[in-house]
Structures are given as structure tokens and as C-alpha cells.
Amino acid sequence: MDTIKPRFTATATATVGRNGPTATSNGMIFVDLSVPKAMGGPGKPGTVTPEHLFAAGYAACFGGALDFVAKQHKQDASKARGTCAVSICVEPSLLCCNIHRRWVIAGIPAPPIGPNAITPGAPLAAGRKIG
């Protein structure tokens, strides 16, 4: 089996987990994190959550993938616009992350937003769609 070699790897470091500073290795992102009050945390003003960062990154990556595929098919996706929402769900025996996304491509609205659940730590089968 061939090994897929990464072309790029981004690195970030969080101090004190969800209630402390987080920074990228290139110094372009430095944010203070705080667990929101809805999750029992302090919900400090002027802070973000890992879910905010994940939503921004997911939307940007999905948009990049969309543009890549469009170019392969000689299509223009330069006006595509996407929104991603990330939610944390906590149940007695489950912690999950719901990802909702909505894209508008060339003025055509996408179908209604639908969740995709990812259970942290669960193995992903090869080829399983998670986004």
C-alpha cells in the first residue's frame, strides 16, 4: 500500500486545555480559550472556544476542497461561500461533536443544514465520510 505523504502540517499548542492560551507555531494565531457558561465554564469575555477555531478551519478546508474539485472539472467555485457550526453534545455515556455546514455555490442555495456526529476517540473506517 502506498503511503500518503502530507504536503503541509499545521501545529498549535494549548496551555491549560480549554481555559488558557492557544497559539500556532507560526505565531499568526494567539487566542485565549474559555469554556462557555453553557458547558459549566467561566465563559470569559473576549475569549473563544476550540469549537470556534474548529468551525473556522473546517469551513476554510471544506471550501478549499470544493475549489480543488471544481477546478478539476473546469468549474468556477470562486464565489462559493460556506458556514460551519460546531456543537458539543454531552450525554451520560457519550461526548460528541456535531458539525453542521451550509454552502452556497454560484448563487444556488445548499440543502438544509444537517449534522454529522464524530465521536472523539472512535476509529474512522477508511473512506468514511465525516464532512
Q: Which helix (H) or strand (E) segment is 50 a member of?
A: helix 50-72
**Band (1; pLDDT cuts 50, 70, 90):** low
Q: Is the dihedral of CA 103, 105, 111, 117 positive or negative?
A: negative
Choose the CATH number for 1-48 among 2.20.25.10, 1.20.144.10, 2.70.50.60, 3.40.50.1370. Answer: 2.20.25.10
pLDDT over threshold 90, residue 47: yes
pLDDT over threshold 90, residue 90: no
pLDDT over threshold 80, residue 27: yes
**Band (102; pLDDT cuts 50, 70, 90):** confident
Please work out, in degrees rounded to the nearest 5, the angle formed at the alpha carbon of residue 124 by the alpha carbons of 122 and 125: 135
Q: Which residue has the higher pLDDT, 22 or 97?
A: 22
- pTM for the structure as a whole: 0.70
**Band (28; pLDDT cuts 50, 70, 90):** very high
Beta carbons within 8 Å of 24's beta carbon, 6+ residues apart = 10, 11, 12, 30
Terminal C-alpha separation, the chain: 25
